[in-house]
Amino acid sequence: MAEKETEKKIQDLQRMEQSMQTLSMQKQTFQAQLLEFDSAISELTGKKSAYRIIGNIMVSSDTADLKKELEEKKEMLELRVKSLEKQEASIREKAKSIQEEVLSDIKGNAGNAKAK
């Protein structure tokens, strides 16, 4: 009975590891996008004209509006990154707790096996 619980905990740990990897990839993607937005915003600074790509065409756009839009998108990405970091921390804590339980179970089972 205890062995099945330990196996279930180990499977939970594996799922948590997969979740952490997924979150990490998403975070890296968002961080790369943040770098692109930072670069675009710095390029717009001091420019009188700018262009926006819409579909397959390039359209002249007001630099102030474009800069504001990029900064809003950047803020949204920053919030997503913070959210992912919180999720990672939560999963990490749960995983640590389960890992300690599994190690305790394994040590307990090893002690019981020696006693028999």
pLDDT tens across 58-99, in order? 999 999 999 999 999 999 999 999 999 999 999 999 999 999
Using DSSP's 3-state secondary structure scheme, residue 50 falls into strand
Q: Residue 80 falls within a domain, yes or no?
A: yes
Kindly state the greatest CA–CA separation across the chain.
83
Report the C-alpha gap between 73 and 30 in whole angstroms: 11
> Average pLDDT, whole number, for the chain?
90
Q: Residue 31 falls within a domain, yes or no?
A: yes
Number of domains in the chain: 1
pTM: 0.78
Residue 35 Cα to chain centre, angstroms: 16
Domain extent at residue 38: 16-46+74-109
Check residue 110 and give its pLDDT.
66
